[in-house]
Amino acid sequence: MSMLEVRNVHKWFGDLHVVRGVSFEVRKREVVVIIGPSGSGKSTLLRCINRLVEPDEGEVLVDGAPITGPKKGVERIRSQVGMVFQNFNLFTHLTALDNVTLGLTKVKGVAPAKARERGLQLLEKVGLRDKPGSYPAQLSGGQQQRVAIARALAMNPKAVLFDEPTSALDPELIGEVLDVMTQLAREGMTMLVVSHEMGFVRNVATRVLFMVEGKILEEGIPNEVFQSPKLERTREFISKILA
């Protein structure tokens, strides 16, 4: 059954047609990775799914329920889908633990003591049990991104969106974030990931979507798409990122 479903979504920024009629679905426990050149609309598409960007046309369904429509209730929809950003976007004035628990206490109304317990559990899960009191500026990029993943998981989301989660990281820090994501995938989290980390895509992704100029040109299981792409455009792009 599909956890996320995108039906013919369009987005314009002024005259710029960024997302041009995209449709796909992510089934429960699936890990779908979107690849494609920069400016192809991957991030915008991802943002349409939790309505950080309002789609101009089309429909998005989360767990079978349409999320597009009136502005009212948009917060509840967003809290069902976690998001991890390229630049981490941790709340700079809060400790790692407070970053993780803020949504729990303020959005879900969980009691502080309970939220704290859950927050520590999640920090442990991402390997940061010893850093609850650290502020984002005291953490490395990899650690910040792992806190951000814990923050997204705290809301107990139905799916998590990852927007180039390792692109802002030094090469030696990428592994620790990918390890956490891999672990998450193994546990059965539904994930939609924009990434060009080929190792992760090969080992973890159940499906790959190749997006160019606002459209999905090709899709399939990773080995198919990488080894025998149907289109010349896909072959060209893949040879570039593998180089």
Partner 1 sequence: MRILRLLGTPGGTGRRIVRSLAASAIVGLIAAVMIAVLFPRSVAFWAVGAANTFLLFVGSAALGLAIGFFVGWGRSTGIRLISWPLLGYVEVLRGVPRIVIVLVAFVVFPKIGLGIDLAVLWGILALGVSSSAYQGEVFRAGFQSIARGQMEAAASLGMTYWQTMRYVTLPQVMRTILPPLGNEWIVVLKDTSLLIVLPGFAQLRIPDVVELTKVAQTLQQATFVVTQWPLIFAAAAVVYLAMTLLVSGVIQYAEERFKVPGLGVMAA
**CA–CA distance from 82 to each of 72, 134, 137, 198, 203 (Å)?**
19, 23, 23, 23, 22
* Tokens 């927007």 found at: 163
| Of 36, 55, 136, 141, the one binding partner 1 by CB under 8 A | 136
What is the distance of C-alpha 78 from the center of its chain?
13
Choice between 23 and 138, CB closer to partner 1: 138
- Pick the piece of the chain touching partner 1 (CB under 8 A) from 20-28, 83-91, 117-125, 189-197: 83-91
* Token couple for 81: 């889908």
Q: What is the DSSP string of 85-149?
A: -TT----TTS-HHHHHHHHHHHTS---HHHHHHHHHHHHHHTT-TT-TT--GGGS-HHHHHHHHH
Task: Name the residue type at position 119.
Answer: G
- Pick the piece of the chain touching partner 1 (CB under 8 A) from 24-32, 123-131, 135-143, 227-235: 135-143
Q: What DSSP designation does 226 have?
A: H
Rule CB under 8 A: say whether 93 interacts with partner 1: yes
| Of 18, 83, 110, 209, the one binding partner 1 by CB under 8 A | 83
Rule CB under 8 A: say whether 135 interacts with partner 1: yes
Q: Report the nearest approach of partner 1 to the CB of residue 16 (Å).
A: 19
Rule CB under 8 A: say whether 75 interacts with partner 1: yes
Burial class (CB in 10 A: 0-12, 13-18, 19+), 71: exposed
Site for partner 1 (CB under 8 A): how many residues? 34
- Pick the piece of the chain touching partner 1 (CB under 8 A) from 92-100, 115-123, 169-177, 211-219: 92-100
Comparing CA positions, the residue from 187, 219, 227, 179 lying closest to residue 203 is: 179
| Of 8, 23, 87, 156, the one binding partner 1 by CB under 8 A | 87
| Of 2, 68, 79, 183, the one binding partner 1 by CB under 8 A | 79
Rule CB under 8 A: say whether 101 interacts with partner 1: no
Choice between 132 and 222, CB closer to partner 1: 132
Site residues for partner 1 per CB under 8 A: 50, 52, 75-83, 85, 87, 89-95, 98, 102-103, 106-107, 134-138, 148, 151-152, 155
